[in-house]
Amino acid sequence: MDLQLNEEQRMLKTLVHELAEKELWAKEKEWEDSGQHVPPDYVKKLASLGLLGIALPKEYGGSGLTALEAVIATEEAARASPRVGRIIFESNLGPVRVVEQFGSTEQKRKYIPPVCNGDFLIGVAMTEPEAGSALTDLKTRAILDGDHYIVNGQKRFVTGAPNCGAYIVYVRLSEQRGAKGIGALIVDRDAPGLSFGSEEKFLGLHAPRCDMFFDDCRIPKANLVVGEGGFSKLMTAFDLQRCGNAAQCLGIAQGALEIAMAYSQERHQFGRPICEFQAVQFMLADMALKVEAARLLIYRAAASAGTGLARPLDAMLAKCFANEMVREVCGLAIQVLGGYGYSKAYPVERMFRDAWGYGIAGGTIQIQKIGIVSQLLGRRFGQRR
Fold of 232-377: Butyryl-CoA Dehydrogenase, subunit A; domain 3 (1.20.140)
In DSSP notation, 221-261 reads GGGEEE-TT-HHHHHHHHHHHHHHHHHHHHHHHHHHHHHHH
Residue 166, SS3 per DSSP: strand
Q: Supply the DSSP symbol for 343.
A: S
Query: What residues of the chain score a pLDDT lower than 70?
Result: 1, 385
Distance (Å, whole) CA 27 – CA 18? 14
Task: Determine the CATH number of domain 122-229.
Answer: 2.40.110.10
Distance (Å, whole) CA 277 – CA 33? 34
pLDDT value at residue 177:
87
Q: For residue 261, what are the CA distances in angstroms to 80, 107, 126, 270, 283?
A: 16, 48, 40, 18, 10
pLDDT value at residue 3:
74
Give the rounded distance of the alpha carbon of 193 from its chain centre.
28
374 close to 317: Cβ distance less than 8 angstroms? no
Of the candidates 146, 24, 158, 12, the one whose C-alpha atom is nearest the C-alpha of residue 85 is 24
Strand residue runs (E) in the chain: 122-125, 141-145, 148-159, 166-172, 182-188, 194-196, 209-220, 224-226, 268-269, 272-273
Domain residue spans of the chain:
7-116, 122-229, 232-377
pLDDT value at residue 1:
59
163 close to 172: Cβ distance less than 8 angstroms? no
Q: What are phi and psi of 236, to 5 degrees?
A: -65, -40
Torsion of CA 361, 364, 369, 375, to 10 degrees: -50
Q: HSE on the CB side for 195, CA within 13 Å? A: 7
Residue 216, SS3 per DSSP: strand
358 close to 207: Cβ distance less than 8 angstroms? no
pLDDT value at residue 364:
95
Cα dihedral 97, 100, 103, 106 sign: positive
Q: What is the widest separation between alpha-carbon atoms in the chain?
A: 79
Is the backbone peptide bond immediately before 162 cis, with ω within 30 degrees of 0?
yes
Task: Determine the CATH number of domain 7-116.
Answer: 1.10.540.10
At 250, the amino acid letter reads: L
pLDDT value at residue 380:
85
Residues 6+ apart with CB under 8 A from 312: 235, 236, 239, 371, 375
